[in-house]
Structures are given as structure tokens and as C-alpha cells.
Amino acid sequence: MAADIFRITLAQLDPTAGDIAGNAAKARDARAKAAADGADLVVLPELFMAGGGPDDLTPEVQSACRAAVEALAGETADGGPAVLIGTPWAEGGKLYNACALLDAGRIAATRFKTNLPRAGAFARGPAAGPVSVRCVRIGVAIGEDIRVEEADDDNVVETLAETGAELIVVPAAAPYIRGSSDRRLSAAVARVTESDLPLLWLNQTGGHGDQVFDGASFALNADLSISAQLPGFVADITTLAWRRGDDGWECRGPVSAPVDGDEADYAACVLGLRDRVAKSGFTGVLLGLSGDVASALTLAMAVDALGPGKVRAVVLSGPDTAQASRDEATALAARLGVASEMVPIAAAVAGFEQLLPGPLAGGARHELLARVRATLLIALASTSGALAVATRSRAEQWGGREGEADAIAPLEDVTAAQVIRLALLRNRWKPADALGPAGEVIPPGLITRPPGDGQSPVDRAGRASSGAREG
């Protein structure tokens, strides 16, 4: 007999690429929370078990994922909630981007992604009908399966509706791009309008390489009302109670305020940096600090991501560094509770100059100074097990390449104008999970100061902290 209430737990979580055991443990914890909430089904994101995309799926990872899924399936014999989990799945000599339904101690069903965003390791999945959980027919559309944009895209949701689905569930791993929330919602609204079925879209959160996943999962009732909205850029486990009425299933869950625009960009930088450190085993971060707004903003992001105790700032001071810049850099670190130190670079610069046939001047000298600072920054970070962090924005370029793959630049894709906006924003707001202090952490005079005013040439054109670029 079909139930009139169906509880679904959304596990908006942050997996780690290659950490199959850790990802499985997170799935178990989510299922335990779902069981405590009386849920019938817990949903985890696309490719959750692997924690990464097709480039990470070695044969060993594929085998480990399958074994972990089979072990989780066995645990569902306890009568608790079923599990829908994203995983790579090899079948018939092909590798699929799959979701496995685990219930009653077995793998009850698998569904394969159809609309693939690019050619790659995965095979295109065949059309399939809904899966049954507690007599409720759940249509599974994975990630881009809810988009119908290209000529060869299948309308997966339409197929699911025609084959008896009552509710569409979309496990996804969609990276954050400014404005992406509007595109996701538009695709979901289009599918709900066509199918007249409610839709639940679950996204992973966390950083993976140079991508950040923002979560921000949501649910739509068949009347297009937003029935639930999970917070962005944080892990969250929420159980939604769906009720069957005359017009089908609907729910009324929590609706968090969306994080978008500059706030979303700032939160993405913080989350990406936090996970880069945590998932790569670094002890913290080291950044070259100078007395300008990009440097101050990067420092604030690092403290928000990791806390002041895991952030170390160095002022790579040379003969071209104005005393005002030294003082401002030291004051910035103190304002955020970060330990800082002065590291003279004159001896290193002199060593390079002794190898050259003649003296350098102008831009060539500035480039040499930037390269020296980059090399020292990477070396200092390496000796302490820290991640080197560059403070360069999109408008600032470093001419050197040495060591560029060993650093991360949180402002890599941020324009000069947005640096100012983000600095002003941080002084009045911070992400909910930020570890830095509230309030005015960046001196207003530093934000409004015209470029070059009171700064040395190295601060304008080749700062120490701009000396490393993420590859």
C-alpha cells in the first residue's frame, strides 16, 4: 500500500577524491541521521563514492567504489532508509556515471546518466523508468539529465514521467559558476512545467582541485513553488517530508536565503582554499604580504578559511619596498591575528645579479624581483609543509613560471574592480562558517586609495605575493 507521507533526506556533503573509505563513512553517517529522522530514502550526490570526476577514476578506484557500494547495500538489511548514491559503475564492458539504489540488503537498482557534458570516460546510459522505494516511484535524473540544450540531449524527465514517475530526484555535482543558480533553477522549472511532477535537486559541496561545488540544493513542487532551499557552500543534511495530495506529492521544507553575486564569489574562494589545504594534507598556508588591497583581501580569505593559527604571512622586503608598505603589511596581519615576519631579499637579488652580464633596470628589474620573491615564497612554504598562496588578481600578471603549479591564487579569476567590491563586502559581512573576525578587517583607506598612491613599484607591478600562479 502506497504511503501518504514519504521522507527524503538530502545529504549535501563534501566528498574527497579517492578517499573511498572516508566517503563511505560520510554516507553511513548521513544514513544514520536519516534513520533518526524517520526517513524512507537518503540521497547522496552524483559520483559521491568516488569523490571526483572521470579523470580520477582509475581501475583501482572503480573497484574500490563498487566494493564500498556493495558493503553499504548489505547494511540496508537493517530495515532503515534506502540509499541512492552516485558512483562509477562498470557494466557490459562500459563505464557509467551511475546512481545505485541500496535497499533491503541489496543493490535494488542502478540508473545511468544519459546526457553527458563532454566526451570522456563514461558511456551514455540508456533510457530507463523510475525506481520503487516504499511503493513510491522515484524518477532518477543525474546532473545534466535535467537539461535539454543540445540536439542530441534526451528529455530524461519526460521519459520518466511517461513511465510512471511520481517524483523526480536529481543527484548532481555541479561546480559553482557565477550565475549558475539561475541556470539550474531555469532547467528545473522547465522540466517541472513539462512533466507536472515535483523535482528535488541535490548538489554536492566543497572544493576539488580548481573547482568549487556550492551545494544550494533545492526542491520544487509541481506548482513551481520552491518547497525547500538548502544553504550554499556548506555541508548540510536535511530531511523533507513529502505528502501525497489530490495533485500528487508536495512538501514544505526550510528555505535558506540564497548566497549569490559577490557574496557567493567570496564564499567560493574561502571554501576552495579550505578544502585545498584539508584534502591535500597541508599544515596551513603561507602568503607573501604587501600593503595593498588584494593582499589584504587574500589574507582575510585565508583566515576565514582556516583560522589565524594556520595562516603565516611574510613580508619579502627588498630595497624597492617602501617603509609604508612594510608597516601596512605588518598591521594587516596583526588586525587579523596572524603571525608575520620580515624576510629581506637583498642577498638573494644580489646573487642573481652577480650572474648577469650587466645591471637591470625598469621592467626587467621588477620582473627579477618578482621571480626572486616567488622562489622564496615557494621554498618557505615547502619547508613548513604549508601551501603557498598568491594574492594576484586577474588584472595582475607575474612574468615568471618557476614554481607556479605549487601555489594557489584565490583571486585568480577576480577583476581589479571586484577586488574593491569584495574588500568592502568583507568589512560588513562574512560567510556563516568563516573563522575570521567580524567587522572592519581591511582598512577603508587601503580600499579607497588610488593604485600606486603610497606604494612602491613592486607593490604596483610585481609584488612578492603575486609571484606564484596556480597551474
pLDDT in single tens digits along all 471 residues of the chain = 567 999 999 999 999 999 999 999 999 999 999 999 999 999 999 999 999 888 889 999 999 999 999 999 999 999 999 999 999 999 999 999 999 999 999 999 999 999 998 767 899 999 999 999 999 999 999 999 999 887 778 999 999 999 999 999 999 999 999 988 899 999 999 999 999 999 999 999 999 988 999 999 999 999 999 999 999 999 999 999 999 999 899 999 999 999 999 999 999 999 999 999 999 999 999 999 988 899 999 999 999 999 999 999 999 887 777 788 888 888 899 999 999 999 988 888 888 888 887 777 777 777 888 888 888 999 999 999 999 998 877 555 433 333 344 578 899 888 889 999 999 999 999 998 999 999 999 999 999 887 655 443 333 333 333 333 222
Give me Rg for the CA atoms of the chain: 25
Q: How far is CA 465 from CA 272, 317, 375, in A?
A: 19, 11, 11
Residue 242: strand pairing partners = 6, 251
373 vs 320: CA distance, rounded Å: 12
- Provide the whole-model pTM: 0.90
Residues pairing with 137 in the sheet: 132
> Is residue 193 packed enough to be buried (19+ CB in 10 Å), middle (13-18) or exposed (0-12)?
exposed
Per-residue cell: 30: 548521513
Cβ pair 187, 155 in contact under 8 A: no
Three-state DSSP state, 70: helix
Q: Is 275:248 a contact under the CB 8 Å cutoff?
A: no
Residue 82's closest CA among 179, 143, 17, 7? 7
Cβ neighbour number for residue 88 with a 10 Å cutoff = 25
Strands in 136-284 per DSSP E: 136-140, 167-172, 199-203, 205-208, 211-214, 218-220, 226-229, 236-245, 248-251
Amino acid identity, residue 102? L
Q: DSSP secondary-structure letter at 134?
A: T
What distance in Å separates the CA atoms of residue 158 and residue 170, rounded to the nearest whole number?
Answer: 14
Alpha carbon 370 to its chain's center: 30
Q: Which stretch of DSSP H or E encloses residue 82?
A: strand 82-91
Nearest to 451 by CA among 468, 440, 463, 439: 463
CA 465 – CA 402 distance, rounded (Å): 14
* CA gap 411, 463 in Å, rounded: 14
